[in-house]
Amino acid sequence: MSSSFEEAALLLCYRRLNRHSFNALVGAIETREALNRLPVHFVPRPEELLEQVGVLATRFNKVIVAFSLLTCQILETQKLVKSIKRQFASRIVLIGGGPHPSGDPAGTLGLGFDIIVRGEGEEVFPDIVERIVSGRDHKSVNGLAFLNDGGCTLNPLPRRLDISRYPPFAVKHKKFGPIEISRGCPWTCRFCQTPYLFGVKVRHRDIPSICKYVNIMRKEGLTDIRFISPNAFMYGSEDGKSLEVNAIEGLLSSVRKILGGRGRIFFGTFPSEVRPESVTRETIEVVKKYCANDNLVIGGQSGSERMLEHICRGHTVDEIQRAVDLTLKSGLKANVDLIFGLPHETEEDARLTLELAKILTKKGARIHAHTFMPLVGTPFKNMPAGEICPTIKIELERLISIGKVYGQWRAQEVVAKQSYELRRKGLIR
């Protein structure tokens, strides 16, 4: 093996919101024999990143610094990248990836990144890293964006992956977490990045692959098993809309067999959720038979039929209420996501969403409140930042005070306004 692999290091800005993405990417790196000796450093605190870059820059000829970015992290990242470039420009390569860079590669390059990874990274990221540390040209790799003679070059997007072929986390580095079981979504909600980033064709991790990694976790003494999916109750569905309860039961029964009576399975709850129309007696029964979660997270989004149609949600207000009724009747708790400040939302629309929240909380549900944030790569990317009118804020605060509403809607309102300003200044496109 060339000594060049001993002269390079990979440093990850391993923030809480991005760790699951990096777990999968480092897992993919672990499958590359040529990268087995590459040192990988995880820095969970952004304020420590600059110091760590400095330490590595004195020890290695090449330091690859990687960020996975959400839109809400742009301001913080801009400051970090600027400081790193100013102090260590000749010694480092800055790579950005994730939802925001994929939706706005040119704008993210403008923050100071050398390379942007667009779309799925399990093949692209290891390819880039391997080429950089071996001194080979990397600019022909599919999925890359980079600045070239003042312009932005966008290489073709990488092919859609069979996620069963790639680890959900980094086994050798012991960076474990939820297992991604499905990717993509057929429901093209206009506020959501998922179908635009991963496609409308749902791809599922097969049960043998899932069981392989559950076994690995069990041997490590990790027996709480969680999953990542746009809609957990659509596992195994070919079109992502038709329920396949047998597939869900096949998955959960297989995992339960591995864990025996000691481990716990969490399904249809954080960090996943379920759509209202997929909540049925059958899906609930399967959860109660095999799982430990005492709640379901249900994506409702609005209490206005007009807004549900406008955002292309694909379900009705009645279906939200029916899902909550079924969940509560079964003995599970119901947590319902609702978004305020959606584009073209009128005061009446917002009032209807608030009224739905009141109805559901009286039944025993809790509301996870959000403020709309325009996300790059979505049909709503150029919409104004979401705002919540004062009277509705007062009502939400009252519901929070009695434990009926929770969430980061206040902070999201602030960040949404900041992102709007970034777009106005040309930092987000």
Residue 264 to residue 255: CA distance in whole angstroms: 10
pLDDT of residue 429: 62
Domains 3-154 and 163-424 share a fold: no
Q: From first to last of its 429 residues, what are the pLDDT tens digits of the chain?
A: 444 556 899 999 999 999 999 999 999 999 999 998 999 999 999 889 999 999 999 999 899 999 999 988 988 899 999 999 998 888 899 999 999 999 999 989 999 999 999 999 999 999 999 999 988 988 899 999 999 887 899 999 988 999 999 999 999 999 999 999 999 999 999 999 999 999 999 999 999 999 999 999 999 999 999 999 999 999 999 999 999 999 999 999 999 999 998 899 999 999 999 999 999 999 999 999 999 999 999 999 999 999 999 999 999 999 999 999 999 999 999 999 999 999 999 999 999 999 999 999 999 999 999 999 999 999 999 899 899 999 999 999 999 999 999 999 988 888 888 777 777 776 666
pLDDT of residue 428: 63
pLDDT of residue 54: 92
pLDDT of residue 417: 82
Residue 189 to residue 67: CA distance in whole angstroms: 26
Residue 100 to residue 418: CA distance in whole angstroms: 15
Residue 364 to residue 166: CA distance in whole angstroms: 40
Handedness of CA 211, 212, 216, 219 (dihedral sign): positive
User: In this structure, which amino acid lies at residue 299?
Assistant: G
pLDDT of residue 418: 78
| CA nearest neighbour of 300 among 322, 277, 276 | 276
Residue 214 to residue 413: CA distance in whole angstroms: 38
pLDDT of residue 4: 55
pLDDT of residue 3: 45
Residue 231 to residue 58: CA distance in whole angstroms: 46
Contact 169, 27 (CB under 8 A): yes
pLDDT of residue 2: 47
Q: In terms of C-beta distances under 8 Å and separation of at least 24 residues, what long-range contacts does 155-160 make, across chains too? A: 157/118, 157/119, 158/118, 158/119, 158/120, 158/123, 158/124, 160/120, 160/184, 160/198, 160/199, 160/201, 160/203
In this structure, CATH architecture of domain 163-424: Alpha-Beta Horseshoe (3.80)
Contacts of 265 (CB under 8 A, 6+ apart): 225, 252, 255, 256, 259, 290, 291, 292, 293
Q: Which residues pair with 371 in a beta bridge?
A: 340
Residue 354 to residue 365: CA distance in whole angstroms: 14
Starting at the edge strand that comes first in sequence, how are the strands of the sheet with 115-117 ordered? 40-43, 8-13, 62-68, 92-97, 115-117, 144-148, 151-154
Contact 64, 9 (CB under 8 A): yes
| CA nearest neighbour of 163 among 106, 101, 207, 99 | 207
Residue 255 to residue 62: CA distance in whole angstroms: 42
352 token code pair: 């209807």
Give this prediction's pTM.
Answer: 0.93
pLDDT digits (tens, 9 = 90+) for 44-55: 998 899 999 999
DSSP symbols for 156-200: PPPPPP-GGGS-SSBTTTTB--PEE-EE--S---TT-SHHHHH-S
User: In this structure, which amino acid lies at residue 335?
Assistant: N
Cα–Cα distances in Å, from 308 out to 157, 171, 305, 322, 413?
31, 41, 5, 16, 21
Q: Which residues pair with 146 in a beta bridge?
A: 153
Delimit the domains of the chain by residue range. Answer: 3-154, 163-424
Rounded to the nearest 10 degrees, what angle do helices 317-329 and 347-363 cross at?
A: 10
No. of helices (H) and no. of strands (E), the chain: 15, 17
Residue 219: is it exposed, middle or buried by C-beta count within 10 angstroms (0-12/13-18/19+)? exposed
Residue 350: is it exposed, middle or buried by C-beta count within 10 angstroms (0-12/13-18/19+)? buried
Contact 333, 290 (CB under 8 A): no
pLDDT of residue 1: 41
Contacts of 359 (CB under 8 A, 6+ apart): 321
- Looking from the CA of 151 toward its CB, the CA atoms found within 13 Å total 3
Calculate the CA dihedral of residues 388, 389, 392, 397 and round it to 10 degrees.
70
Cα–Cα distances in Å, from 13 out to 42, 108, 272, 414?
7, 16, 23, 23
CATH node for 3-154: 3.40.50.280
